[in-house]
Amino acid sequence: MYKLKSEYCGQKKNKGFTLVEMVITVAIFAILLGMITPSLNSVLGFRVQRATNSITSALDKTRREAMSRLVGEMKLEYRSDGYYITYYLDRGKESAESSRIRNDDSEKIAPAGTRISYTDSTGQTYNLWEGDRNSIILTYNRATGGFLPIQSNEWEQNQILAVLNLGEDIPLERDESLPYCQTITVRGGMRTRVITLNKDTGKYTVRAQ
């Protein structure tokens, strides 16, 4: 009889959660989730705004540099740990052997979890974080201040020196039939920012979506 009583007590102790306990657990979880979600969205929203500000500042800087230098380009690219902006700048030839071309240290503007894409003038959208289009290179027309078509490659020192030594202009891509960048979209959490570029004026607008 003692044995049966012990077995009964053991079974009683291992009966699991009651309905009331489950309801309380779910309620606590819902409260915690409700507290965490706004904070998470706030963090992600801040990252989106910061990345947008970095891109627009880079556009402003590139436009200034392109108007006063032989080359002024910005490259926005995705790497495994996030998004970076790099500048390629050149003030011109100092001598036959050297040039003041340089690429500034890359600046990280957003973590990998952010989603940055661009749409070109053909209506095609490219996600920088996937596929083979993980970067975009932009520059300006020195004569008009407007955007040039999306560049296929950045100009580095040895390439520019070779062109300058021949007494030729840097052959930036200027073919009107090539695609231009129309918009750059930055997403994170519940926030989206769209940067719309004006091809003719080189200006841009930013709107929430």
Question: What is the per-residue pLDDT across 141-171, written as a single tens digit (0 to 9) for each?
Answer: 988 999 999 998 887 667 777 777 777 767 7
**Neighbour-count burial of 100, counting CB atoms closer than 10 A to its CB (0-12 exposed, 13-18 middle, 19+ buried):** middle
Among candidate residues 16, 110, 104, the one with its CA nearest the CA of residue 65: 104
SS3 77: strand
More confident residue, 60 or 103: 60
| Collapsed DSSP state (helix, strand, coil) of residue 101 | coil
* Contact partners, residue 51, CB within 8 Å, separation at least 6: 83, 109, 110, 114, 116, 186, 188
State both tokens at 38: 């706004």
Contact 67, 73 (CB under 8 A): no
Residues 86 and 105: their CA atoms lie apart, in Å, by 6
Q: Considering Cα of 112, then 60, then 197, then 105, what sign does the dihedral take?
A: negative
Q: What's the chain's average pLDDT?
A: 81
On the question of pLDDT at 32 being above 70, the answer is: no
C-alpha distance from residue 80 to each of 103, 129, 134, 138, 169 (Å) = 20, 8, 10, 22, 35
Q: What percent of the chain is modeled with pLDDT above 90? A: 45
Which DSSP category does 87 fall into? E
pLDDT band at 82 (very low <50, low <70, confident <90, very high): very high
State which H helix or E strand residue 70 sits in.
Answer: none
